[in-house]
Amino acid sequence: MKIALLQFDIAWENKSGNLMKVESLVSLCPGGTDLIILPEMFNTGFSMNPAELAEKSESETFSLMKALAEKSNAAICGSYIVEENGNYFNRWIFISPENEVHIYNKRHLFSPEGEDRLFARGAERAIFTYKDLRICPNICYDLRFPVWSRNRDDYDLLINSANWPAARHDVWSTLLKARAIENQCYVAGVNRTGTDGAGIEYSGGSVILGPKGEIIASGANDTEGIIYGEISPGELSDFRSKFPVLNDRDDFVISV
């Protein structure tokens, strides 16, 4: 599977401007790309203003993602603010060229910025299969909680769409590598660059990692661009067969 991570400076609460930038970046993705991954809240930045910025579940941003998936013949995914039944969600949405849709609502809301006071948290993990690859998405702060993303031999690729501040860049890169190694899986982490409306700086650091924690592809810090890499379900299966760590995993139940 060929993956493109779109690392860019998200204009603060400027939905139309960000959607235009996404459209432009998608048009630059190499031919044959299978999956395009966007950062967290890619159309607004990490804003705590959901009352003004939220969309219905299938509105403007969803429509653009759907059109881009069809035009590029690649699945596209990332999170933005969605209102549903009076609740606001930081919702990650996946749309394939065939209009296959999967959603994941962020479980671990970032309490230091008050996200937990404004948004409803997700109750369920989302795992689905695309092109013979089992995918588990999470969003930014979820990365700090390994139990939530623990591989029960039920996924092959962990995706994290983030707005992860530059001040904690080393934490970002360390946790992504840890999740890859402990879960014996591929990891794709995409982060933004620039400075948001709250004055928080972001350095990017988007990366695709292999199951040994090795870097398959990475982006330059503080630079917008497309990070492109290829992963192989067959090679992952072979590695797991030769070194079957997941067979010794602990069983557990996550309470909601």
Q: Which residues are catalytic?
A: 40, 106, 140
Token pair for 58? 């299938």
Alpha carbon of 89 to those of 50, 51, 55, 185: distances in Å? 9, 11, 10, 27
Residue 168: DSSP 8-state: G
Sign of CA dihedral 20, 15, 91, 212: positive
- Residues 6 or more apart whose CB falls under 8 angstroms from that of 253 comprise none
Token pair for 212? 């040994």
Token pair for 78? 């990332």
3-state secondary structure 5-31: EEECECCCCCHHHHHHHHHHHHHCCCC
Residue 56: DSSP 8-state: -
Alpha carbon 240 to chain centroid, angstroms: 24
Residue 131: DSSP 8-state: T
**φ and ψ of 113, to 5 deg:** -105, 5
